[in-house]
């Protein structure tokens, strides 16, 4: 059973990660907040908003609404509700809601208090922990953002019961990514041996999986809270490939599914560069296929120019060159530029 824990991030600020057993716990926590509260949800998570919350913003769902306009709505609502710097913004929803709300909280009066309540698996293991905030801009994913850790992240595994299958599988993509970043292979072994229980959403198994996955992420972000040492960038394993795919598909493919595909491409790239052996590729591809991800998908040749242009917008650039996260084994990430010809051979159909 996973237990609560604390993660120390930017400027020594800590985020308390707590597992709550029901949404009634959320109501009690909100009641205990001092000062005004503004809760932000979207149309998918609005039904979970506690009745006592009068100050609320309900956003349209979807990545295409991750914009300045959404931030303006939240900030305007905060002003109307007379929020001060010691007031609390609470995000209740998936990664889009949490990212937008966190950015709004970081900007409002130069920073007000922030609590995140992720309701999707993807957000629980990825967007909620680490202090990153963001919106998309001019076709680039998460191009505008800040580092602003939440004071609390409240994980409610029961919200996964009603999550659509496609969103649940999307979230698992990030969990599997963490398995390859864990040096002790504990998460890999857990995912391999408990696949049936995980896919059937057994509550106890999910709580244990969430704890293992979050601790892998915490181990990276605590050592590099603002992504300045190259350590935290390892958490972007598969993301350079994934973000480019999402971009050319106008975000019509879910993030976690794109990440799972991107991880497979990163593993293939690592193999092509002689960083990993056949056994590692077999284990990696086997786990991804076990959970049903289409790692054989390729981009049509006519989309190559769009794909490599999207890669060029990636945030992991250094001295004008995009650095991909590759692997030398479990828990051994490396940052490396990759030649366009090699990228093309890995992602383009028939290349």
What tokens were used for 301?
């040749």
- Model confidence at 26, pLDDT cuts 50, 70, 90, reads confident
Predicted local distance difference test score (pLDDT) of residue 344: 97
Span 142-185, pLDDT tens digits: 889 999 999 999 999 999 999 999 999 999 999 999 999 999 99
Domain 167-347's class?
A: mainly alpha
Span 229-251, pLDDT tens digits: 889 999 999 999 999 999 898 87
Q: Are domains 5-162 and 167-347 of this chain identical in fold?
A: no
For residues 82 and 337, what is the distance between their CA atoms, to the nearest angstrom? 48
For residues 8 and 225, what is the distance between their CA atoms, to the nearest angstrom? 8
Contact yes or no for 195/290 (Cβ under 8 A): yes
Predicted local distance difference test score (pLDDT) of residue 79: 97
pLDDT greater than 70 at residue 261: yes
Three-state DSSP class for residue 190? helix
Query: Which sign, positive or negative, has the C-alpha torsion 195, 180, 170, 23?
Result: positive
Predicted local distance difference test score (pLDDT) of residue 170: 95
Domain assignments of the chain as residue spans, ordered by start: 5-162, 167-347
- Model confidence at 2, pLDDT cuts 50, 70, 90, reads low
Element (H, E) at 27: helix 23-31
Higher-pLDDT residue of 264 and 314 is 264
Span 315-348, pLDDT tens digits: 555 545 789 999 999 999 999 999 999 999 999 9
Predicted local distance difference test score (pLDDT) of residue 102: 98
Predicted local distance difference test score (pLDDT) of residue 140: 77
For residues 2 and 208, what is the distance between their CA atoms, to the nearest angstrom? 5
Within a 13 Å sphere around the CA of 54, how many CA atoms are in the beta-carbon half? 5
Three-state DSSP class for residue 177? helix
Interval 29-56 mean pLDDT: 89
Q: What are phi and psi of 337, to 5 degrees?
A: -70, 150
Give CATH for domain 5-162. Answer: 3.40.50.1970
Instruction: Please state the pTM of the whole predicted model.
Output: 0.89
Interval 57-85 mean pLDDT: 95
Predicted local distance difference test score (pLDDT) of residue 316: 56
């Amino acid at each position: 059973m996973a237990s609560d824990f604390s993660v120390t991030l930017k400027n020594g600020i800590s985020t308390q990660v707590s597992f709550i057993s029901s949404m009634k716990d959320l109501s009690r926590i909100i009641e205990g907040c001092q000062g005004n509260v503004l809760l932000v949800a979207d149309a998918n998570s609005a039904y979970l908003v506690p009745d006592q919350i009068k100050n609320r913003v309900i956003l349209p769902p979807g990545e295409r609404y991750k914009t300045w306009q959404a931030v303006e709505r939240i900030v305007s609502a905060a002003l109307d509700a007379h929020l001060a710097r010691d007031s609390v913004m609470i995000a209740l929803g998936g990664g889009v809601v949490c990212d937008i709300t966190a950015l709004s909280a970081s900007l409002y009066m130069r920073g007000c208090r922030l609590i995140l309540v992720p309701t999707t698996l993807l957000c629980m293991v990825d967007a909620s922990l680490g202090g990153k905030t963001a919106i998309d801009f001019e076709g680039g994913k998460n191009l505008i953002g800040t580092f602003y850790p939440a004071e609390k992240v409240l994980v409610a595994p029961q919200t996964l019961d009603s999550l659509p299958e496609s969103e649940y599988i999307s979230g698992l993509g990030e969990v599997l990514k963490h398995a390859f970043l864990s040096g002790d292979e504990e998460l890999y072994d857990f995912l391999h041996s408990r696949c049936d229980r995980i896919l059937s959403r057994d509550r106890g198994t999910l709580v244990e999986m969430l704890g293992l996955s979050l601790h892998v992420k915490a181990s990276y972000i605590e050592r590099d809270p603002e992504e300045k040492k190259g350590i935290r960038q390892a958490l972007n394993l598969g993301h350079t490939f994934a973000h480019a795919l999402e971009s050319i598909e106008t975000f019509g493919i879910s993030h976690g599914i794109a990440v799972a595909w991107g991880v497979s491409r990163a593993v293939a790239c690592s193999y092509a560069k002689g960083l990993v052996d056949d056994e590692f590729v077999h284990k990696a591809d086997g786990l991804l296929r076990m959970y049903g991800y289409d790692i054989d998908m390729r981009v049509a040749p006519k989309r190559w120019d769009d794909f490599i242009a999207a890669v060029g917008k990636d945030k992991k650039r250094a001295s004008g060159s995009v650095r991909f996260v590759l692997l030398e084994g479990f828990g051994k990430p490396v940052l490396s530029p990759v030649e366009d010809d090699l990228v093309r051979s890995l992602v383009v159909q028939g290349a």
